[in-house]
Every structure is written in C-alpha cells, then in structure tokens.
C-alpha cells in the first residue's frame, strides 16, 4: 500500500477583533452557524476567544461538539491535509484531515431546541489557543466542587485536537523517506579490485527535499505548539511516532542494478550518510529526552560500490541503475 500526501495547506488564522467591536451577523455555513464575530479577550492574563454559535446534531452531545468545532475553527483556523491511498496504482480512499490547535475553555448554552430527533443549541463558547505543553485544562471555581460538564468539554476538545494532530503528523511521515530526499545520480564506473572482483562505482549527491522539510516543519510547529524544527515534544505519542519513523525504521539508500527486462541483478542498501546512521535526524534521550531536530542543510556526496561478481556475466545484461530512498524494512 502506498500512502501519498497530496497537499498541505497553510494555517489560516482569522483576524483578531478587539473587545470593543460590536457584534455582527455572519452568513450560516452548511455545518453550522457562527452567530457573532468572535473577539479575543484577556481573562486572568490569558488570551481567550469568545464567540456565539448555533449548531445541530442527533443529540445534545453531538450538537455541542459541532458547536465546539465551529468555535475553535473560527478562533484559530485550521491546518488541512488531503491524503490519498493508492493500491496497485488505483485510488482506494481519500481522507481530509483538518487540525485546529485550540480547545474549549468554557461554554454556556443559551437556547436548546429538540425537533424530529434533532437537537439544536445556541451557545456562548470561550476558546483557548492550545499550547501542547499547557496541561491544565480546567480549574474548579471553589474547593470540593467540580463542574463535570465544563471539564468534559475541555478534555474532549483537547483530546480531539491531540488525536487529529497525530493523524496529520502520520500523513506527513508516510512520505518519509521516499519523498524526503533529492537524489542526483552521477555517471557509473565499472572497476576491478586487486582480487579481480567486478564492482560498479555509483556516485550520487543526496540532500533533503525542501518541500518535505517545510511540510514537516509546519506540521510539527502546529501540533507541538512551539516554533522551529528543533523542539521538545511534550506529547509522548507524537514523539513515539517520530521515533518509529526516524529511528526504528529509518531511511536507507537503495541502489539496484537491473537488466532490460527490469530484473534485479544486484542490490545494495546503506545509510544516507556513513557518518550519521539516523538520516540527518536526531532524537534526544538522557538530558535531551523527547527532543527532536533535523539538520536541514545536510547533504552528502557518496560513491557507493556494488559487487557484480568475478566475471562479466552480470554486467553483460545490465541496463540501468536506480537509486531510491526506502525504509530499512523495505531493504
């Protein structure tokens, strides 16, 4: 199965509106209605987005969740990825992943209506921009009491953000390493060593693909809440995804010699850079635990030698040499 990320859109941040702005009506969307233009306010030195929304669902929980989604997307926008999965060259499925880095701090139901198995609610919703390292989601107003409804909204919207962020990150990691590198192949030479063995010397230049690095960087910045590709990943499941893709099943450069019928005559796999077997990615441990960074400017000029036997029988039928970036499990 081949998974390909078709497009990744930039984060769309809606223009902030001052607390003095008067309410304005918006046109309804097919999925719900934002009743007023939202406002960024400061509460207890924390930036909160306040908006009034109307939404519907099959029950109260579904209606509230739809309203939360509308409010969060109006507050912080979303990062969207379109992922297509191909099986034997045919489109098997397509998934749109929309990620928003915010969660519901508080909400208040103003009106509720139930009609023909459908629930409609009008709510005031307060959204907090999410820093993934900010683990405090809800604080009770007094000792010994807990507003479970409000706490549940904060937890469920935060978990939804984290899980959607996982899916977004997976969609980018699915293209590693096949689309992560630019490989420039140089002319091949055939050599004999002092034991009369035949070798193909295959020189090539390897560097990061700028588009892939930009996609990875933007995605990590969105789902981790901190800038730059050198960062501490607080969320353990996301670090586990990075570790699995860049360390446990890391990149190898596969060189294949084929004949005119596309049969494989010889194959060799090696790390992208003999001096760095992690493919120019570092994953921290010890005092640097859960830190992740990429050497974006890394490149390598390599002369790889492929063994072709002790006579001319293999090279007689050789027609082409292919160089691809693959995972260790594919070599």
Return the closest-CA partner of residue 298 out of 177, 206, 203, 176.
Answer: 206
Burial 22-61 (b: 16+ CB within 10 A, else e): eeeeeeeeeebbbbbbbbbeeeeeeebbbbbbbbbbeeee
Each as own residue / partner, the long-range contacts of residues 18-25 (CB below 8 Å, 24 or more positions apart, any chain) are 23/52
* 105 — pLDDT class (breaks 50, 70, 90): confident
Instruction: For the chain, give the number of residues.
Output: 331
Return the closest-CA partner of residue 169 out of 94, 103, 245.
Answer: 245
- CA–CA dist 13, 28 (Å, integer): 19
* 31 — pLDDT class (breaks 50, 70, 90): very low
Q: Output the CA torsion sign for 182, 187, 193, 196.
A: positive
pLDDT of residue 10: 31
Secondary structure (DSSP) of 173-218: HTTTTTTTEEEEE---EEEE-TT--EEEEEEEEEEE-HHHHHHHHH
Average pLDDT estimate for 106-121: 90
Return the closest-CA partner of residue 76 out of 43, 98, 53, 95.
Answer: 98
* 192 — pLDDT class (breaks 50, 70, 90): very high
- CA–CA dist 250, 252 (Å, integer): 7
Retrieve residue 263's tokens: 């049969």
Considering only residues 88 and 152, tell me which one the structure prediction assigns the higher pLDDT.
152
Average pLDDT estimate for 107-122: 91
Which tens digit of pLDDT belongs to each residue from 217-274?
888 887 876 656 567 788 889 899 999 998 888 889 999 999 999 999 999 998 887 5
pLDDT of residue 321: 95
* 16 — pLDDT class (breaks 50, 70, 90): very low
Average confidence score pLDDT of the chain: 77
pLDDT of 11 above 70:
no
Secondary structure (DSSP) of 98-113: EE--EEEEEEEEEEEE
Using CA atoms, how far residue 318 sits from 196, 249, 261, in Å, is 19, 30, 10
Domains located in the chain, CATH noted: 2-173 (no CATH), 181-330 (2.60.40)
- CA–CA dist 251, 304 (Å, integer): 16
Which tens digit of pLDDT belongs to each residue from 47-82?
888 899 999 999 999 998 888 888 888 887 766 665
Question: Does a cis peptide bond (omega within 30 degrees of 0) precede residue 177?
Answer: yes
**Radius of gyration over every alpha carbon of the chain, rounded to an integer in angstroms:** 26
Lowest-confidence range among 91-95, 106-110, 186-190, 327-331? 91-95
The pTM of the full predicted model, rounded to 2 decimals, is 0.64
Return the closest-CA partner of residue 109 out of 120, 124, 128.
Answer: 124
- CA–CA dist 49, 67 (Å, integer): 14
Which tens digit of pLDDT belongs to each residue from 258-311?
999 999 999 999 888 755 545 578 887 766 778 888 888 888 888 999 999 999
pLDDT of residue 83: 57
* 138 — pLDDT class (breaks 50, 70, 90): very low
pLDDT of 26 above 50:
no
* 89 — pLDDT class (breaks 50, 70, 90): low
């Amino acid at each position: 199965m081949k998974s390909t990320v078709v497009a990744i859109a930039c984060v769309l941040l809606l223009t902030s509106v001052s607390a003095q702005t008067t309410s304005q009506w918006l046109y309804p969307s097919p999925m719900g209605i934002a009743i007023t233009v939202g406002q960024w306010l400061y509460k207890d030195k924390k930036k909160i987005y306040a908006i009034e929304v109307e939404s519907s669902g099959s029950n109260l929980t579904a209606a509230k969740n739809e309203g939360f989604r509308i409010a969060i997307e109006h507050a912080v926008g979303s990062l969207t990825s379109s992922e297509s999965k191909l099986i034997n060259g045919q489109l098997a499925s397509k998934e749109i992943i929309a990620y928003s880095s915010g969660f519901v701090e508080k909400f208040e139901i103003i009106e509720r209506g139930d009609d023909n198995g459908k629930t409609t609610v009008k709510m005031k919703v307060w959204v907090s921009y999410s820093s993934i390292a900010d683990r405090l989601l809800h604080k009770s107003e007094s000792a010994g009491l807990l507003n479970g409804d409000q706490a549940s909204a904060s937890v469920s919207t935060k978990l939804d953000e984290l899980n959607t962020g996982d899916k977004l990150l997976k969609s980018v990691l699915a293209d590693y390493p096949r689309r992560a590198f630019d490989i420039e192949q140089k002319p091949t030479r055939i050599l004999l060593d002092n034991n009369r063995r035949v070798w193909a010397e295959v020189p090539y230049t390897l560097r990061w693909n700028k588009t892939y690095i930009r996609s990875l960087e933007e995605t990590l910045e969105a789902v981790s809440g901190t800038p730059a590709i050198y960062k501490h990943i607080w969320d353990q499941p996301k670090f586990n995804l990075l570790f699995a893709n860049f360390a446990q099943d890391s990149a190898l450069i596969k060189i294949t010699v084929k004949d005119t019928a596309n049969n494989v005559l010889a194959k060799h796999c090696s790390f992208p850079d003999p001096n760095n077997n992690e493919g120019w990615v570092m994953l921290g441990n010890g005092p640097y635990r859960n830190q992740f960074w990429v050497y974006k400017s890394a490149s390598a000029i390599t002369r790889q030698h492929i063994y072709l036997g002790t006579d001319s029988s293999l090279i007689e039928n050789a027609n082409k040499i292919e160089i691809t970036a693959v995972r260790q499990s594919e070599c």
